[in-house]
């Protein structure tokens, strides 16, 4: 499913899209992790921002 740039809001911010360079950049900055760490977290728990935050907090 492609990122719908016309549909932004809570649902859009609750998911991490690794297919968009700007989202990878923004999420790595917001979470204080490298791109590799972000990709590993999404691989481990999926693209839910809350799940990724929990995963990164517990590492």
Domain ranges, residue 38: 33-59
Q: Which residue has the higher pLDDT, 4 or 24?
A: 24
Instruction: Give the pLDDT of residue 6.
Output: 56
Residue 42 lies in a domain: yes
Residue 54 lies in a domain: yes
Angle, in degrees to the nearest 10, between helices 21-31 and 49-57: 40
Residue 14 lies in a domain: no
**Alpha-carbon distance 25 to 30, whole Å?**
9
Instruction: Give the pLDDT of residue 11.
Output: 47
Residue 32 DSSP SS3: coil
In the chain, the number of structural domains is: 1
What is the average per-residue pLDDT within 11-30? 91
């Amino acid at each position: 499913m492609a990122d719908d740039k016309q549909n932004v809001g809570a649902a859009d911010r609750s998911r991490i899209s690794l297919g968009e360079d700007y989202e990878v950049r923004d999420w790595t900055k917001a979470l204080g992790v490298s791109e590799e760490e972000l990709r590993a977290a999404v691989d481990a728990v999926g693209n839910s921002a809350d799940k990724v935050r929990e995963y990164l907090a517990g590492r």
